[in-house]
Structure 1
Amino acid sequence: MMRGPGLNRQITLAMLAVSLGMTLVVLLGSYVFYALVIEYRPELLSGPSDMIPTSTEWVWMASVTIVALVFAVWASARLARRILAPLNSVADSVRRVAHGDLAARAVAGDRSLGETALLVDDFNAMAERLQRMEREMVTWNAAIAHELRTPVTILRGRLQGLAEGVFQPDEKQFRGLLHQVEGLSRLIDDLRMLSMFDSGHLKLELADCDLAGCIRDVAHLLAPELERSGYRLALDLAEGRICCDAARMRQILLALLDNAGRYADPGVISIRTRVLGAQYLLQVEDAGPGIDEELEGKLFLAFHRGEHARAGAVGGSGLGLAVVRAIAEAHGGVASYRRGEHGGAMFEIAWPMPMPGPAVVS
Structure 2
Amino acid sequence: MRKRAKTNPVPKPWGLGAIGGGVVLGALGAFVPAAQSPLWLGAGLLSGAGIALTAQARRRPAPVADLDLRERALQVDREYAGLADGLDLAIFEVTEGGLIVFANPRAEGMFQSYGAVGRNLADVVQSPDLIQFVSEAPQEGVPLDDEFSLDHPRARTVLARTWQESEDDSHRTYLILEDVTELRRLERIRRDFVANVSHELRTPLTTIRTMTETIADDPDDVEVRTRFLGRIVSEVDRLTAISDDLLTLAKAESQEPNLGRVDLSELCQNTVLQLQTKAAAKNLTIRLEAVPQGSTLGNEAQLTQVIYNLVDNAVNYTSEGEVVVRVEEGPQEVTLSVTDTGMGIPAEHLDRIFERFYRVDKGRSRATGGTGLGLAIVRHIVESHQGSIQVTSEEGRGTTFTVNLPRLFPFQPLSD
Pick the TM interval, shorter chain: 0.5 to 0.7
How far apart are the structure 1 equivalents of 2:309 and 2:289? 19
Paired residue secondary structure (1:219): helix
Write 1 or 2 for the structure with the bigger share of helix.
1
2:299 to 245, 255, 261: 245
Is the aligned partner of 1:229 residue 2:285?
A: no
Q: Which residue of 2 aligns with 1:33?
A: none
1:141 to 183, 186, 194: 194
1:337/1:345 contact within 8 Å kept: yes
Is the aligned partner of 1:18 residue 2:60?
A: yes
How far apart are the structure 2 equivalents of 1:162 and 1:326? 42
Write 1 or 2 for the structure with the bigger share of strand.
2
How far apart are the structure 1 equivalents of 2:162 and 2:222? 68
How far apart are the structure 1 equivalents of 2:282 and 2:324? 16
Tell me by how many angstroms 1:349 deviates.
1.2
Q: Which residue of 2 aligns with 1:209?
A: 262
| 352 and 141 in structure 1: CA distance in 2 versus 1, 3 angstrom threshold | same
Tell me by how many angstroms 1:169 deviates.
9.3
Tell me by how many angstroms 1:14 deviates.
5.5
Amino acid at match of 1:344: G
Matches within 5 A, 1:27-46: none
Q: Percent identity?
A: 24
1:270/1:284 contact within 8 Å kept: yes
| 227 and 310 in structure 1: CA distance in 2 versus 1, 3 angstrom threshold | farther
How far apart are the structure 1 equivalents of 2:365 and 2:162? 56
2:361 to 293, 303, 307: 307
Q: Which residue of 1 aligns with 2:240?
A: 185
| 131 and 191 in structure 1: CA distance in 2 versus 1, 3 angstrom threshold | same
1:298 to 339, 343, 352: 352
How far apart are the structure 2 equivalents of 1:261 and 1:297? 22
5+ residue gaps, structure 2, are 1-46, 65-92, 103-136, 147-156, 165-173
Deviation digits for residues 198-237 of structure 1, max 9, x if unmatched? 4xx2231322233322222221121111211232101011
How far apart are the structure 1 equivalents of 2:328 and 2:306? 16
How far apart are the structure 2 equivalents of 1:14 and 1:178? 74
Q: Which residue of 1 aligns with 2:203?
A: 150
2:324/2:338 contact within 8 Å kept: yes
| 249 and 16 in structure 1: CA distance in 2 versus 1, 3 angstrom threshold | closer
Deviation digits for residues 149-189 of structure 1, max 9, x if unmatched? 22223333444455524455998766654433332222112
How far apart are the structure 1 equivalents of 2:276 and 2:264? 18
How far apart are the structure 1 equivalents of 2:57 and 2:190? 50
| 245 and 90 in structure 1: CA distance in 2 versus 1, 3 angstrom threshold | farther
Is the aligned partner of 1:255 residue 2:297?
A: no
Paired residue secondary structure (2:159): coil
How far apart are the structure 2 equivalents of 1:171 and 1:253? 37
Structure having the higher Rg: 1
Is the aligned partner of 1:324 residue 2:366?
A: no
1:295/1:306 contact within 8 Å kept: yes
How far apart are the structure 2 equivalents of 1:253 and 1:90? 57
How far apart are the structure 1 equivalents of 2:144 and 2:58? 32
Q: Which residue of 2 aligns with 1:121?
A: 177
Question: So what's the TM-score if we normalise by structure 2?
Answer: 0.55
Tell me by how many angstroms 1:89 deviates.
9.9
Tell me by how many angstroms 1:130 deviates.
4.8
Aligned Cα root-mean-square deviation (Å): 4.4
Tell me by how many angstroms 1:137 deviates.
2.9
| 130 and 16 in structure 1: CA distance in 2 versus 1, 3 angstrom threshold | closer
Tell me by how many angstroms 1:294 deviates.
0.5
Tell me by how many angstroms 1:304 deviates.
1.5
Tell me by how many angstroms 1:135 deviates.
3.4
Tell me by how many angstroms 1:252 deviates.
1.4
Tell me by how many angstroms 1:306 deviates.
0.9
5+ residue gaps, structure 1, are 1-5, 24-77, 95-102, 111-115
Paired residue secondary structure (1:153): helix
Q: Which residue of 2 aligns with 1:352?
A: 406
Paired residue secondary structure (1:183): helix
| 308 and 185 in structure 1: CA distance in 2 versus 1, 3 angstrom threshold | closer
1:279/1:350 contact within 8 Å kept: yes
2:288/2:324 contact within 8 Å kept: yes
1:283 to 337, 351, 354: 337
1:300/1:325 contact within 8 Å kept: yes
Amino acid at match of 1:290: G
Paired residue secondary structure (1:272): strand
2:344/2:398 contact within 8 Å kept: yes
